[in-house]
Amino acid sequence: MQPLDSEQTAARTWFETLRDLICAEFVAVEREAGSDADFDYIAWDRTDPSGEPGGGGVRGVMKGRVFEKVGVNVSTVGGTFEGEFAKSIHGAGDDPKFFATGISLVAHMANPHVPAVHMNCRFLATTKRWFGGGADLNPPLPVESDTAEFHATLRRACDAHPVADYDRFAKWAGEYFYIPHRQVSRGVGGIFFDHLDGDFADSFAFTQDVGRAFLEAYPRIVRRRMNDAYTPTDEAAMLAWRGRYAEFNLVYDRGTLFGLKTGGNIDAILMSLPPRAEWA
């Protein structure tokens, strides 16, 4: 893997910083619940198909009283895409060399009244350079006020940046996080964006604010709902919903495919799967 340039270094440093901020906040929630749970961090290395070192990452997983399972991964990888896969990646059709760095987070919660959540932000460089990512809320038992608050926070992040368009990104999320074979949405949406390949500073500033918006909104919702009483019926609804979540991530999710196609760490790629789920 080639040495990082200033833009690649800035993106990598931010994603690692965001990881640390999020993990610290999630551990703080566990302490408030009387739990001593913490993240286990496992570093992994990647070998490029060329045989050269291809970067790597760190997988962080916590299983606690509030967070039944939460994974927060960061990775920085590079090398060459293999075969036809290069043609599916923005800017890699003519030259398969690539660089990618990012953060990926999925939280599955113990209490059915606390929404699960996904957040991902990334920076890729091929013959083009761009940011992508987003965040979406996935409650087994939706609460309208929580959904509205989550979306309002993301809207403010978008409205602060000319490169962002909340309405377009929210629509994109609704279309992307959809399970065609079930004809249902994966959750209550959020934002999804990709191929922001204009000015680096503008796109980077927006991507940073997506992470900050997530950190502002989601822990507040968790603290509001984590002590709510729930019934066996509520838990059964959560486990059935988790089955739908697993189906989406295994069949349709681009990040899962990208990780598998580029030789990523299998445990890190599949950390999004829930610890328990049920199918009828």
Nearby residues of 17 by Cβ (< 8 Å), 6 or more positions away = none
pLDDT of residue 55: 95
For tokens 């989550």, the residue is 150
Domain boundaries, the chain: 6-272
Separation of alpha carbons 71 and 85, rounded Å = 27
pLDDT of residue 113: 98
Q: Give 61's strand partners.
A: 40, 71
pLDDT of residue 85: 84
DSSP 37: -
Q: Tokens standing for 192?
A: 């999804």
Q: 90, 108, 113, 118: which one is catalytic?
A: 118
118 counts as catalytic: yes
pLDDT of residue 92: 83
pLDDT of residue 21: 98
189-196 and 53-62 beta bridge pairing: unpaired
Separation of alpha carbons 167 and 121, rounded Å = 19
Sheet containing 189-196: order of strands: 40-47, 53-62, 67-80, 97-109, 116-125, 129-138, 189-196
pLDDT of residue 2: 82
Q: Give 108's strand partners.
A: 69
Separation of alpha carbons 226 and 29, rounded Å = 9
pLDDT of residue 232: 97
Predicted TM-score (pTM) of this structure: 0.94
Half-sphere exposure of 117 (CA within 13 A, CB side): 27
pLDDT digits (tens, 9 = 90+) for 173-200: 999 999 999 999 999 999 999 999 999 9
Poorest-pLDDT segment among 72-81, 115-124, 265-274: 265-274
**In the predicted model, what is the mean pLDDT of residues 155-182?**
97
3-state DSSP call for residue 152? Answer: helix
Q: Is the pLDDT of residue 63 over 80?
A: yes
Q: What is the CATH number of domain 6-272?
A: 3.40.1500.10
Separation of alpha carbons 187 and 180, rounded Å = 13
